Amino acid sequence: MKQGKKGFTLIELLVVIAIIGLLSTLSILALNQARARARDAKRISDVRQIQTALELYYNDSNNYPTTASVTAGAAISNGTNIYLAAVPIPPLPTDGSNCTAYTTAYTYVRYGAAGTTASYTIQYCLGATVNNITGNAAQTATPAGIRLP
């Protein structure tokens, strides 16, 4: 006599659990990669935002701010003009083993005197290569833009 039991066998349940586990693992890996790309995009955006503020500062004063006055979290201002309310801080975690020097701040240095010799560099690091900007290595932005390797 055959009984009419309905349900799933142990094998069927294990197969479904294995498939769900595989799919969740793949989605977590994709999410981590998307987060890393988002942090790199934020770093590039931050550097461009700092560059814009520095150029506005230069247009008003014919010089760039001193190295000591551009620090993470501080404003870029000249008198009553505020060009950037707070210098951005790089997002964490730092992506890339060669980027440990850029975990707390982008590195800004002013060069030259007022006028035609004034210049600056902003050093930063990306976790991966983005739009021809090499990842996992120190990169430099200048008044000419973000340098490509």
Alpha-helical segments (H) within 1-69:
10-61
Domains and CATH numbers, the chain: 10-146 (3.30.700)
Q: To 5 degrees, how large is the angle CA 107–CA 109–CA 112? A: 165
Which tokens in the block code for residue 64? 């760039």
Using alpha carbons only, how large is the chain's radius of gyration in Å?
A: 25
- 119, β-bridge pairs: 111
| pLDDT of 68 strictly over 60 | yes
**For position 30, what pLDDT does the model report?**
85
| Predicted confidence (pLDDT) at residue 63 exceeds the cutoff of 60 | yes
Q: Please state the rounded mean pLDDT for residues 135-141.
A: 86
* pLDDT confidence band for 132 (50 / 70 / 90): confident
pLDDT value, residue 76: 94
